[in-house]
Structures are given as C-alpha cells and as structure tokens.
Amino acid sequence: MIKAVVFDAGGVLVDLNLDDCRNAFKRVLGFEKIDVLLDPCHQKGIYGDMEEGRISADEFVAEVLAESRPGSTPEMVKNCMCALFKGIRPSKVALLKSLAERGYDLYILSNNNEIAWTQFQRIFLDAGIPIDQTFRKSYLSCRMGVLKPDPAIFNMVIEDLGLEPGEILFVDDSERNATAACAAGMKGLHYDVGTDLAALVDSEL
C-alpha cells in the first residue's frame, strides 16, 4: 500500500524549456558552453558539480562569468538559468491537491541547485501551492551531496521517511532515475513528459 508519493520537480511538476534556457545563455551572456552542460535530467560539467554540491551556486556563477562577455553580472546568469522553468499546469496543481486530500504524504526528490530552487519556490507559490505547505519535505541533490540515479540518494530518502520501500511511489521523467528507484525497492514510475501525470500516478495507487 502506497503511503508516500515522491515527485521529481523539473520536468514532472514544473514544465521545462531547454531551448529557451540555452538561447538565453548565448544571447545574454555569450556563454556557448551551455550546450554541453544543460540536460533535461542529468546536468554535466560545472552545472552537474553544482547540483551535486561539489561547488556552490556562487562558484558556478563565477565560472560562467569567467567565460561570458564583459559586463555580464551574477543576476544575468541567474535570470538565464531561470529561463528553463515554465510553470506548473493546472492539472498538476489539481493532482497534488487531490493526493493530499486523499491522505498521501507528498515529497520532492530533485537533482537541483539553490538558484533554481529559489525560482521553484516562486513558481509553486504563484500556482497557489506553496512548497512548504504542499510537501512534507524536499530532498535536493545539492544539499544531500549525491545525484540521482546514484542508489545512495534513494536509500537516504527511504531511511529518512521511515517507511518500507514498497510503500513509496517515486515519479521521474528520467527512465534511469525511475529504474534506480525500483532497484532500491521503491515503486518507480517513468513519466513521459506531456502525457497525463494524474492517470499515471493513479494507476499505481
């Protein structure tokens, strides 16, 4: 019996537009390397290092500025990063409210960074579902020091929740991450972006 539903954030709950983000880095900053760093699920290079907590957000920004056109600022870098995030669809807001009303504990487990997380909090607040009120806890890779699909991150979440792994449903738009959750004993679901998230989740509850 499922007691907790754990969602990936970007791609599952919050819509992403990688092209807008890449174009912003190139147009605003002249930072061409973004094509190598940015990925829907598993960021590369210094972006991945930031999301794993190997470097801080400020260090990431400094690295980007070092290879950007003169006059670029930290705020410009942050704005370019936030161009990735496009809000939450009303159907997903309704799903989260429905799950809470039905008694399921909701959580987030996300490969994420502090700059993006600030924007995520604004997006959820604007959608009428503040993160701290909607989710019992948010697990962020940059704070945990490990990225999905490393088995360690799933084991840390399982231990912290204090539930049997089979009582936890995990939803991610990365098939690698969903498979890793299954290997840890969770019920992992791969969400195909653009499909009916509510129908997918309800199929396992």
pLDDT computed for residue 39 by the predictor: 80
Same domain, 100 and 111: yes
Q: Are residues 58 and 101 in the same domain?
A: no
- Final residue belonging to a domain, choices 82, 100, 133: 82
Are 138 and 52 in the same domain?
no
Q: Is there a single domain that holds both residue 151 and residue 181?
A: yes
Same domain, 51 and 143: no
- The number of folded domains in the chain is 2
* Residue 41 pLDDT > 80: no
Whether pLDDT at 12 is above 90: yes
Q: Identify whether residues 63 and 94 lie together within a single domain.
A: no
| Average pLDDT for the chain | 96
| pLDDT (tens digit per residue) in 102-116 | 999 999 999 999 999
Domain end call among 82, 102, 125: 82
- For 160, 171, 184, 185, the CA distances from 164, given in Å and listed in that order, are 11, 17, 11, 8
Output the six-digit token pair for 164: 């049997």
Domain final residue pick, 82, 100, 135: 82
On whether the CB atoms of residues 190 and 181 are closer than 8 A, the answer is: no
Three-state SS at 127: coil
CATH for 26: 1.10.150.240
Residues 6+ apart with CB under 8 A from 133: none
Task: Write down the catalytic residue from 8, 49, 172, 173.
Answer: 8
Tell whether 136 and 113 lie within a shared domain: yes
pLDDT tens-digit series, residues 53-79:
999 999 999 999 999 999 999 999 999
My answer on whether 94 and 159 are in the same domain is yes
Q: Are residues 57 and 95 in the same domain?
A: no
Question: Is 150 considered catalytic here?
Answer: no
What value does the mean pLDDT take over residues 9-26? Answer: 96
Residue in the structure block whose two tokens are 């396992």: 204
Q: Which domain holds residue 44?
A: 18-82
Give per-residue pLDDT as tens, 137-178.
999 999 999 999 999 999 999 999 999 999 999 999 999 999
